Structure 1
Amino acid sequence: MNDDSSEILLAFGRNLEQIKKNKKMSYRQIAAKCDLEHSDIKRYVDGKINPTLLSLVQLSRALDISISELVSFDELELEN
């Protein structure tokens, strides 16, 4: 994985973690609502794996947000 890809995954993970905290949900609670493993959700947050489109749909539904909100991060976040 190149540096740009890693930065994008980390920015996505930071956004997912912030949404999780705002919703006051645990990884297990999210996983139970979207048929994903809680360990995979943690790996998304850590930028270890790239979520599929289906995973993004499942996560957005479980978190009751739009997919665009889930993948919303700007260039400034990619530079941090």
Structure 2
Amino acid sequence: MANEVSKEYLLKFGIHLKSLRQSKGLSLRQLAAKCNIEHADITRYEKGEINMSFNSIVELSVGLEMTLKELMDFQL
């Protein structure tokens, strides 16, 4: 059960992340360059395929120019 919930959160966060990136007019490569994360990893995050470290979440917030709270404000 917990694993299913984790997967659901990863998928929802990925949708949210993609939406934020697109709303800022950033391509995957542009965001990757701004936050020092490989664009392939960002693709996997957006698809909910892999979990990310706290450091990656911080880097994404910097790259998207928003607070951690704004980045993590998504509905399950």
TM-score greater than 0.5 by the shorter chain? yes
Q: CA deviation at 1:47?
A: 0.2
Specify the alignment match of 2:4 in structure 1. Answer: 3
> Over residues 17-61 of structure 1, what are the superposed CA-to-partner deviations in whole Å (9 max), with x where a residue is unaligned?
110110010110010111110000000000001111100110000
Specify the alignment match of 2:42 in structure 1. Answer: 41
Counting only pairs closer than 5 Å after superposition, residues 1-80 of structure 1 correspond to structure 2 as 2-74=3-75, 78=76
In 2, distance between residues paired with 1:31 and 1:47?
A: 17
In 1, distance between residues paired with 2:9 and 2:31?
A: 22
Q: CA deviation at 1:70?
A: 1.1
User: Identity across aligned pairs (percent)?
Assistant: 45
TM-score by length of 1: 0.88
**CA RMSD for the aligned pairs?**
1.1
In 2, distance between residues paired with 1:73 and 1:38?
A: 22
**5+ long unaligned stretches in structure 1:** none
Q: CA deviation at 1:63?
A: 0.5
In 2, distance between residues paired with 1:42 and 1:9?
A: 12
TM-score by length of 2: 0.93
**5+ long unaligned stretches in structure 2:** none
